[in-house]
């Protein structure tokens, strides 16, 4: 069993693309919402069960060591490996060899991912490679791809130039590394990405764990702005529609006009309470009637416009509504129990799904929420939406 309790963070570069911010501040210490970015990374690692961090330093290293010390104030044991500013990524890892455990999580100091380490480790154990890299599926084309992962989960190409047309994802770091990888490392100053990844690929010892969770970065001023928005504290809740907000329509006759739309008891009051407590509210709903032709998208638009109008009458607001228009057998990625609508909302609104709540009413909802990484709660006859929201409100008050 591979147990990963140690993370290793590459943090020695000069952050040239972030100048002038990095003339006097090392890149991982650049402030994001008044906190050093590295502090967010360490917090995320701690939440994933990591108990020790080794930070590989170079440029302005004293700014980091003075701030974090040995780590007790951050709930973490922190160690440092300090090298010359000229050292490349591979050399920094090699020089820290005596500090490294048999298996460790390797990440970059400028990338943030709402990581689920348990799932990453399970994937790594299943495939048993020397290394596994986390790969953003990049379905929104946010950046150019640089890797290809085959159907068996192995990385077959790594292209730092991002020019190969046969690429299907982006290497975002968050590697699980077997310490045996260090035996492949040369003695000269070298890049881990340019010299070690191709060797692992050739040996079929590099797997790619694909994720639809968008990653965030502080590598450029433009990306820094998006990361600030993503990491801004916010309260987010997703609500299924039929069975949570309104009565489920008969399968043979999907709702075609507002008169047939009936709010369930307590639903309006629940939405109002959520708005009063500054939640961003997203509706996630399957609407297979569109795919079957028993209703059309204009019908659904009218229904949702009236739903939002009724909600506004009570001083509340729905942030956005997402729906799947496909039939059961269309093979889409958005239809629950698949989590596609959650990932779409997260990309478009810069949401951390791991810190979001989803309220559904059946097993498909439970599966979708689990796949998206949301805390998922199902309504029951004894526990409707209003009761769930009141419970959430009480829990926040108590904490």
Peptide bond connecting 354 to the previous residue in cis, omega within 30 degrees of 0:
no
Distance CA 179, CA 259 (A): 64
The catalytic residue positions are: 240, 242
pLDDT digits (tens, 9 = 90+) for 57-83: 999 999 999 999 999 999 999 999 999
> How does residue 257 score in pLDDT terms, banded at 50, 70 and 90?
very low
Best CA proximity match to 360, nearest among 284, 255, 274: 284
Q: Across residues 122-131, what is the average pLDDT? A: 95
Cβ of 356: how many Cβ atoms within 10 Å?
25
Q: Across residues 124-149, what is the average pLDDT? A: 92
279 forms beta bridges with 235
Distance CA 178, CA 386 (A): 49
For the chain, which domains are there? 6-228 (3.90.550.10), 234-398 (3.40.50.1000)
Distance CA 125, CA 153 (A): 12
> How does residue 160 score in pLDDT terms, banded at 50, 70 and 90?
confident
How, if at all, do strands 111-112 and 216-217 pair? antiparallel
pLDDT higher than 70, residue 398: no
What is the reported pLDDT for 298?
A: 87
Residue with tokens 């779409």: 344
Q: Is residue 51 within 8 Å of 37, Cβ to Cβ?
A: no
Q: Over the chain, what is the mean pLDDT?
A: 91
> How does residue 397 score in pLDDT terms, banded at 50, 70 and 90?
low
What is the reported pLDDT for 1?
A: 52
């Amino acid at each position: 069993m591979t147990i990963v309790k140690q993370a290793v963070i590459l943090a020695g570069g000069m952050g040239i693309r972030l100048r002038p911010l990095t003339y006097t501040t090392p890149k991982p210490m650049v402030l994001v919402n008044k906190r050093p970015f590295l502090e967010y990374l360490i917090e995320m690692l701690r939440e994933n069960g990591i108990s020790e961090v080794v930070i590989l330093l170079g440029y302005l290293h004293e700014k980091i060591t003075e701030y974090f010390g040995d780590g007790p104030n951050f709930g973490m044991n922190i160690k440092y490996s300090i090298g010359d500013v000229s050292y490349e990524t591979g050399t920094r890892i090699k020089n820290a060899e005596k500090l490294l455990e048999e298996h460790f999580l390797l990440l970059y100091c400028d990338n943030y991912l709402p990581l689920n380490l348990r799932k990453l480790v399970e994937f790594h154990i299943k495939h048993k490679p020397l290394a596994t890299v986390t790969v953003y599926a990049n379905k929104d084309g946010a950046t150019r791809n640089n890797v290809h992962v085959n159907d068996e989960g192995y990385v077959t190409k790594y292209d730092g130039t991002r020019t190969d047309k046969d690429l299907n994802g982006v290497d975002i770091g968050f590697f699980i590394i077997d310490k045996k990888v260090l035996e492949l490392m040369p003695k000269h100053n070298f890049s881990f990405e340019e010299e070690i990844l191709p060797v692992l690929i050739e040996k079929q010892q590099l797997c790619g764990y694909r994720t639809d969770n968008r990653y965030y970065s502080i590598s450029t001023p433009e990306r820094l702005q998006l990361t600030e928005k993503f990491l801004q504290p916010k309260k987010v809740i997703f609500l299924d529609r039929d069975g949570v907000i309104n009565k489920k329509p008969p399968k043979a006759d999907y709702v075609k006009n507002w008169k047939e739309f009936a709010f369930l008891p307590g639903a309006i009051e629940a939405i109002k309470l959520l708005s009063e407590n500054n939640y961003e509210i997203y509706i996630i709903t399957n609407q297979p009637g569109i795919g079957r032709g028993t209703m059309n998208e204009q019908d659904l638009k009218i229904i949702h416009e009236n739903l939002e109008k009724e909600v506004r009458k009570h001083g509340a607001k729905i942030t956005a509504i997402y729906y799947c228009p496909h039939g059961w057998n269309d093979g889409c990625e958005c239809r629950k129990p698949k989590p596609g609508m959650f990932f779409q909302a997260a990309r478009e609104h810069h949401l951390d799904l791991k810190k979001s709540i989803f309220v559904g009413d059946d097993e498909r909802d439970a599966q979708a929420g689990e796949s998206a990484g949301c805390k998922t709660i199902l309504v029951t006859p004894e526990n409707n939406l209003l009761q769930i929201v009141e419970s959430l409100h009480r829990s926040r008050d108590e904490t």
